[in-house]
């Protein structure tokens, strides 16, 4: 029983030196990574293989290669090799065994480009690094823990979370771009463009392996499987739910595949709350993680109800103005939640949020109440296709 091998299998890696240089947090803060996350995925892939084999035995004939299916159950040594693969050993993020196997079994690795994709991916990292150093110097996080900070006027306290989240994003952009570059340098995660690979999951379309080095070299490849951050879309997407999609993308795939889909409810908001709760636990036991992650479902419910109740009633110009306001509030919500993520302790997080009167919580509750009063539908029933995901033209987005 085979599988599509369109190139080296992939899994995005978070390269550790930049992360430790730019962050005081544990590598686990990047999300599920090697070890447990990989083995959860491997167990699922083995289960899929067993189910496919049973179906074949019941039907009496072989269907041929199935997209993403393992050829056989990995041995103990193969499992250990996958778990401790050098590409993602330090901080992950997540990669499937199927993509790891594709990488090892690439028939013509010399035909897979790496230098140009690496340079194309790496070029923003120095700028992001400089922006991190500048913003963290001008707006140090430690200031928020000092009593003098709370003597500042309310507008100053409100503003401060903006540069804190900006510095937070810049350091993670550097770490994740460097991680992706580590994968690209190893040819890890390359698939032909025709395979339409997804971050974390790998190819979504069957793509026959090239039969010669010449044919392999003629193919156009991408590294979408190991793409872990879409910096532009993270900053300029309109909705909270889209912001999660573009951040830590391979881990988002893991969470959606193994946590969200197995949640003990069918409600989108409650499934999201379940996923955020387990994600917070994975990060650690600091209360700030739980306060931040469990604010997300409230924001999701609020934006979903209010958007479905009001946006469709507006003119095209009104919808554009709505999207700009929505984007602004989305960014402020993430600024607010970031403070819990970086302050970590219950006392520090609640002290800061109280100093700005828990504004995002109350704003989200007000939006949720208004959306319910106006008859807004559940976020899970909204037609996302009619909603914009970014304020910028498609041609301006990241490659």
| Domain extent listing, the chain | 230-375
Q: What is the pLDDT of residue 63?
A: 59
Tokens of 90: 């330090």
Task: Quickly state the pLDDT bin for 41 (edges 50, 70, 90).
Answer: confident
Residue 68, helix vs strand vs coil: coil
Average of per-residue pLDDT across 37-54: 85
Of 63-67, 231-235, 380-384, which gets the smallest average pLDDT?
Answer: 380-384
Q: Is residue 273 over pLDDT 50? A: yes
Global confidence as pTM: 0.85
Between 209 and 300, the more confident residue is: 300
**Strand (E) or helix (H) holding 155:** helix 154-185
- The C-alpha atoms of residue 332 and residue 344 are separated, in whole angstroms, by 19
Per-range mean pLDDT, top range of 193-207, 322-336, 374-388: 322-336
Residue range 216-230: average pLDDT?
93
- Return the bridge partners of 247, or none: 229
For residue 19, the model assigns a pLDDT of: 34
Q: pLDDT tens across 236-269, in order?
A: 999 999 999 999 999 999 999 999 988 888 888 9
* Mean of pLDDT over the chain: 85
**Cα–Cα distance, 52 to 2 (Å, whole number):** 11
Mean pLDDT across 218-230: 94
pLDDT digit string, tens, across residues 151-160: 999 999 999 9
Query: Is 60 exceeded by the pLDDT of residue 31?
Result: no
**What pLDDT score does 34 carry?**
53
Is it the case that residue 358 has pLDDT exceeding 90? yes
Least-confidence region, from 18-22, 74-78, 80-84, 365-369: 18-22
Confidence of residue 360 (pLDDT cuts 50, 70, 90): very high
Whether residue 164 is predicted with pLDDT greater than 80 in this model: the reply is yes
Among the ranges given (3-7, 75-79, 103-107, 133-137), the one the predictor scored with the smallest mean pLDDT: 3-7
Tokens 């690439």 appear where? 106
- The pLDDT value recorded for residue 4 is 38
Mean pLDDT in residue range 312-341: 96
pLDDT score, position 90: 67
Q: In the predicted model, what is the mean pLDDT of residues 29-57? A: 76
Q: Are 329 and 359 in contact (CB under 8 A)?
A: no
pLDDT confidence band for 23 (50 / 70 / 90): very low
Q: Is the pLDDT of residue 13 over 60?
A: no
What percent of the chain lies above the pLDDT cut of 70?
83
What pLDDT score does 387 carry? 60
* Contact indicator for 242, 379 with CB cutoff of 8 Å: no
**CA 113/CA 245 separation, integer angstroms:** 27
> 21: pLDDT confidence band, cut at 50, 70 and 90?
very low
| Higher per-residue confidence, 34 vs 24 | 34
């Amino acid at each position: 029983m085979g599988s599509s091998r369109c190139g080296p299998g992939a899994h995005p890696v978070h390269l550790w030196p930049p992360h430790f240089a730019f962050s005081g947090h544990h590598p686990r803060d990047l999300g599920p990574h090697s070890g447990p996350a990989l083995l959860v995925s491997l167990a699922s892939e083995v289960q899929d293989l067993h189910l496919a084999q049973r179906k074949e035995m019941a039907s009496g004939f072989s269907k041929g290669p199935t997209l993403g299916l393992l050829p056989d159950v990995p041995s103990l040594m193969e499992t250990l090799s996958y778990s401790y693969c050098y590409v993602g050993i330090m901080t992950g993020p997540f990669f499937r065994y199927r993509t790891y196997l594709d990488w090892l079994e690439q028939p013509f690795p010399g035909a897979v480009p790496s230098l140009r994709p690496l340079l194309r991916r790496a070029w923003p990292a120095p700028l992001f690094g400089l922006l991190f150093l500048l913003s963290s110097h001008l707006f140090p996080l430690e200031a928020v823990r000092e009593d003098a900070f709370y003597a500042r006027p309310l507008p100053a306290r409100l503003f401060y979370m903006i540069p804190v989240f900006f510095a937070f994003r810049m350091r993670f952009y550097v770490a994740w771009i460097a991680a992706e570059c580590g994968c690209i340098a190893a040819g890890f995660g390359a698939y032909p463009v025709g395979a339409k690979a997804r971050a974390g999951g790998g190819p979504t379309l069957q793509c026959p392996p090239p039969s010669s080095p010449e044919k392999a070299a003629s193919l156009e490849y991408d590294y979408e499987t190991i793409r872990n951050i879409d910096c532009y879309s993270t900053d300029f997407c309109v909705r909270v739910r889209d912001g999660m999609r573009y951040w830590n993308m391979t881990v988002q795939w893991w969470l959606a595949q193994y946590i969200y889909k197995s949640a003990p409810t069918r409600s989108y908001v409650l499934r999201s709350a379940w996923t955020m709760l387990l994600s917070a636990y994975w990060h650690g036991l600091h209360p700030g993680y739980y306060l931040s992650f469990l604010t997300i479902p409230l924001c999701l419910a609020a934006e979903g109800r209010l958007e479905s109740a009001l946006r469709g009633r507006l003119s095209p110009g009104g919808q554009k103005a709505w999207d700009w306001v929505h984007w602004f509030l989305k960014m402020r919500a993430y600024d607010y939640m970031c403070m819990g993520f970086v302050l970590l302790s219950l006392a520090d997080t609640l002290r800061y949020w109280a100093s700005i009167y828990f504004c995002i919580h109350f704003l989200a509750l007000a939006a949720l109440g208004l959306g319910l009063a106006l008859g807004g539908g559940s976020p899970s029933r909204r037609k996302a296709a009619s909603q914009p995901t970014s304020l910028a033209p498609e041609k301006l987005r990241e490659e």
